[in-house]
Structure 1
């Protein structure tokens, strides 16, 4: 086992990585439905949150009203309601780009929509959920809500529903996950865009910025002009805006460098081993199709977890590292308990607008090395992309 530990360590060190539809009526049930989240443009402090039911694709009854706390968080009990919901948030917040306190008025709130509220659910209310709300085009059926949320999440490289942004400060971002950091910086970019957008009021500027962005988004992705505008706003915020209190001075270590591309996930599958569990170390190269990219730390060439992750429920004995070079990945995976035949990792790629989503056969796996716990080569193993 000591021999294998040395081999496993060498395998990873070789990579030179420093950081690893339809109408919907409420359904009464016995259990309570609770909705929690953050209202942020940055955090809306002591704001008002209203939650509505959705019936037949339209906003219906007010289910609950509550206030946000000093950090912008809210919680509301919807009782026995189960179904789609619309959340509206209004109140004062500290604007990231201007450093001034602004107000989202009650008659022009920001929105978030969820296709199904049941049990305990998380629902942030942010400029990105407002963008997704806009992209429903007023069709608030469960399928339309889900499609819009997924589209905006794909384009901004963060799950706008499952992830929550944090306060745009150095202290908050120090302990934030990569996804939380990306979400927070994406909202700052929108703030930067709004600060230079025409409008009679702060609300008009935000609405106009989101409307313009929405016009550049379709089911096939984001136009190159719109993506360039968002990227430029993000770069301006982190590099030259004196009100940037995030401690981030460039975006190269985030997934946001690929804003505007659609995401497509592929499974990396181990096959061909005659003795399941005999393989404990894998190293291989994957060639990427033309135009396809992944999220990378530009300083180290390490592939970020948002683009490459171990299969679901990885064991504590598993390690993964990957290094990017133009057009290809060098991947190393170790599992001291032994790999089972099947999925070993998920590769999530960025597909720019105008580029067809590649078939799995467009990826090429080469230079596969597979070893057992003693470092001996295991023959017959293959990695396929599904």
Structure 2
């Protein structure tokens, strides 16, 4: 069965459907890519003017990464056409096409009155730079900027940079192979992984000749004019409570990496609800809007489920052995896996499982943490 956020899903409200009608005829990229790009660009146009408290201010910025095989899913085409669908507004947005240093990012944000849209055809052009000294703090700074702090900067003696009213959006593409080679499990577990929204989807049937986008003018101005604090009404709160109970149960049953990467799905649902509220020009999020946003969030959780085996295969194998034995000698563990796993990777898997709360390490013994 095809995996995609197809147009029959309830999250496709009016403006999103119009956006899809522009982009979908042009190529065979998944509908999920189109929806994610619509959310990211809409949120960027709204900026800091609209927010929802959860409990701090939650803004509608997104870090989006379209994930799929090279050339088959046409990620770059989707990104390029999505920007073009802004009808010229893309030329008014402070945009970066390369991100390698914190200093460069902050300079760009300063020039954009605190706001920058980072567009990367390949996310790995950024993530592989973390191994270089001058960019070693890049991922940690992106984690910080995801929350849109009031101020950010490099407060050094020489050439200090200070940015106010920060708002950062990332739109990128990648393949599972590039993600695996440039992002370590530690990068993902340290906060970068669950702030990124990794969007997967199967490509639609290939076109022998690309189609033409069906250009139309969407009322993007309404987003830039929208402002204020959004709130959930009572019915929406009931819907949220029901969803959050399901989410909590799902998290408890999830594998270690899935659980960590999915932690911020509820926040991403609320970010989507802000975007929908802006299109509807309504500061009150009702049951219908929230249900549409939750549907998108549940799809994102499915994406996490499908992506995590790319990163956590060693952790799964190590955890399975420890669960069977309850207590395992460290030397036994290394002998078991050293034929196809480096000592460094085994140690990393153990540290990750310890950090996630699945095992404790006492001298030479690895002990499973029993569920309460």
TM-score when scaled to structure 2? Answer: 0.24
Structure index of larger Rg? 1
TM-score (norm 1): 0.23
Of Structure 1 and Structure 2, the greater helix share is in 2
Structure with the larger strand share:
1
Q: Could you say which structure has the greater relative contact order, defined with CA pairs below 8 angstroms and 6 or more residues apart?
A: 2
